[in-house]
Amino acid sequence: MTKSDPFRYFKTSPEVFRLAVMLYFRLPLSLRNVEDLLHERGVDVSHETVRYWWHRFGPTYAAEIRKRRIESMKSSRWRWHLDEMFVKINGEMHYLWRAV
């Protein structure tokens, strides 16, 4: 079964949805500030439209980011390293270690 396109009934391009949602989530902006930034870029929408896009497409974008983050962690050759040393605290020797 093929996945339906979530943008098929909208006249605005998906890049504008992504920009509006990312501006709202990534930066400490209000919906009205996002509306103003989009207006400066030639996209005339209301703050309620931005809220609707955030509510409708936000979970989809979050799932994409989470999926990419997990895939990149699996494909990397990341390894644990152990750093250890002896430290003198108040004249007493202590063994200190940490996992990096």
Tens digit of pLDDT at every position of the chain (100 positions): 567 777 788 888 889 989 999 889 888 899 999 999 999 999 999 999 999 999 999 888 888 888 888 777 666 666 677 788 888 889 998 888 776 6
Instruction: Give one DSSP letter per residue of 70-98, joined into a string.
Output: HHHHHHS-----EEEEEEEETTEEEEEEE
pTM listed for this prediction:
0.62
Give the start-to-end residue ranges of the domains of the chain. 14-99
The whole-number pLDDT of residue 49 equals 93
What lies within 8 Å, CB to CB, of 20 at 6+ separation is: 34, 38, 43, 45, 50, 53, 54
